[in-house]
Structure 1
Amino acid sequence: MLPSLFISHGSPMLPLVETPARDFLAGLGGTLPRPKAILVASAHWETERPTVNAVARNDTIHDFFGFPRALYELSYPAPGDPALAERVSDLLGAAGLASEVDRSRGLDHGAWVPLLLAYPDADIPVLQVSVQSHLGPAHHLQLGQALAPLRAEGVLVIGSGSFTHDLRRFRGQGIDTPEAPDVVAFSDWMDEALAEGRRSDLLTYRNKAPHAADEHPTEEHLLPLFVAMGAGGEGATPRRIHKSANYGVLRMDAYAFA
């Protein structure tokens, strides 16, 4: 059975810049059984209630500005799967989570940037499910738990965000700038809590993890971690499958839950 994954997608420039995180994602697809479809909970799609996209083929959304032209020329025209979108909606409803279906939205860079590296042929159906940043970690754990049956159906469930995401310090930093001490402290605390199965601490990380509000001034980039955690199933063991940092403030860690 496929694991669920949390991946850090970093800057939209990731496909065009040589970094350890880029190399990790470029090899990720080869380490997993080929999925029947991929469902991504991306930090870059925030809605009032959970929403899944249902299109025949995904448009590539370039939801950023000020980057080199070469980035805007990249596309990821993966097929969608409207029937699977209805299945996702049904699972959410059965878990008591009212949801909606969006029949026009394509893939934002939280989905297509990492998938361009991991599955460059764009020949696997891809869907997205939105996050609700106003509802916090426990809601997203529940959302992931509702999606857990999909793993047995050959669907790769991915939470795509960033292990740390303080963009206030991002601009002007070199990509290989050493990590700030507060970034290290927060990331080490999170990794220990994951490894030790301290779910209650993780759900209340904002009050317990060092520098939590600094590393995540807003929560949307960490909430996909909780989706992946829930989708891993009851008793899932987290395994860190990548650790690196870009620009000194963006931790690019990735985890598998199985």
Structure 2
Amino acid sequence: MNLSAPAVHRLPSLFLSHGSPMLAIEDSPTGRFLDRLGGLLHRPRAILVASAHFVHARPTLTATPMPETIHDFGGFPEPLYRIRYPTAGAPALAHDIAERLTTAGFDAHEDGHHGLDHGVWVPLRRMYPASDIPVVALSVNPSQSAEWHYRLGRALAPLRDEGVLVVGSGGFSHNLRALHWQHAQAAAYPWVTAFTDPLRAALLEGDVATALDWTSLPHAAQNHPTTEHLYPLYVALGAGGEGARGRLLHRDVEMGGLALDAFAFDTA
């Protein structure tokens, strides 16, 4: 009988565009992509999600044993508010990550009460519908920089060798005021393509400097008038490790202005 511990496979880090909360229940190309994605990865022992909807001045980790499902949105169909994602938390892992971030120079904090916002549970519900993998959420800070979030991600990179799936959940473009809400399949606006094309190319080429200098790309502020949905990308990029390159897993645009690119980052 072989009593050795099972092998732990190095996981990529992921950036996922979570789009509208309706992604949780509607059929869409992005929903179908997420339905397949979990089965394409080695099963993680835990998942860490840096979410656009979890915002703090200092890096904060959920340390709740059984986190609640937070419905942090309004104006959507009632069935969406009945959804629960009853996964366990991982307080010990949250504490371990907080210590690593502190060692890396961040003022990390553990929150023993906060639940899982829709930036966490919407994509995970489609990837892992059994909700049987422990989850920890990590906050972002829109007042910091892309480079700060990249350094945050670099401190998380060793987790990938320990069976932890590191995910940044945000949006490749995110300007809700400009969306064509009545036309889900509207073609991408020219200003969206002008921004996302060079950013995507930089990620695929492993050109970290250009990716970090996102404000110099065309129409940057129009694509991201606020930064909370972009910065999870840089957490995922940093977690990919030194010399990581992006692999494009999925791309789509909804309502003309919601770019839904997804990437894996690793050095392979």
Would the TM-score normalized by the shorter structure come out above 0.5? yes
Partner of residue 210, structure 1? 218
Partner of residue 264, structure 2? 256
Partner of residue 246, structure 1? 254
For 1:149 and 1:17, the matched residues in 2 are separated by 35
For 1:244 and 1:76, the matched residues in 2 are separated by 25
Contact 1:38 1:124 in 2 (8 A): yes
The residue type equivalent to 1:21 in the other structure is T
Does 2:167 match 1:158?
Answer: yes
* 3-state SS of 2:21 partner: coil
Partner of residue 24, structure 1? 33
Does 2:260 match 1:225?
Answer: no
The residue type equivalent to 2:250 in the other structure is H
For 2:181 and 2:239, the matched residues in 1 are separated by 37
Q: RMSD value over aligned CA atoms?
A: 0.9
Q: How many correspondences in the alignment?
A: 257
Does 2:199 match 1:193?
Answer: no
- Where do 1:48-87 residues align within 5 Å? 48-87=57-96
Does 2:101 match 1:92?
Answer: yes
Does 2:47 match 1:43?
Answer: no
The residue type equivalent to 2:77 in the other structure is P
Q: Percent identity of the aligned residues? A: 51
- Where do 1:168-179 residues align within 5 Å? 168-170=177-179, 172-179=181-188
For 2:13 and 2:182, the matched residues in 1 are separated by 32
The residue type equivalent to 2:11 in the other structure is L
For 1:15 and 1:51, the matched residues in 2 are separated by 25
Name stretches of at least 5 consecutive residues in structure 1 with no aligned partner. none
Q: Report the TM-score when normalising by structure 1.
A: 0.98
For 2:36 and 2:247, the matched residues in 1 are separated by 17
Contact 2:206 2:244 in 1 (8 A): no
For 1:237 and 1:202, the matched residues in 2 are separated by 11
Deviations 1:171-190, CA, capped at 9 Å, x for gaps: 63311111111111111111
For 1:201 and 1:30, the matched residues in 2 are separated by 32
For 1:241 and 1:247, the matched residues in 2 are separated by 20
Partner of residue 3, structure 2? none
Measured after TM superposition, the shift of residue 197 of structure 1 is 2.2
Name stretches of at least 5 consecutive residues in structure 2 with no aligned partner. 1-9
Contact 2:250 2:261 in 1 (8 A): yes
The residue type equivalent to 1:221 in the other structure is H
Runs of 4+ in 1 over 6 A off after TM superposition: none
Q: Which of 141, 153, 160 is matched with 1:132 structurally?
A: 141
Contact 1:173 1:248 in 2 (8 A): no
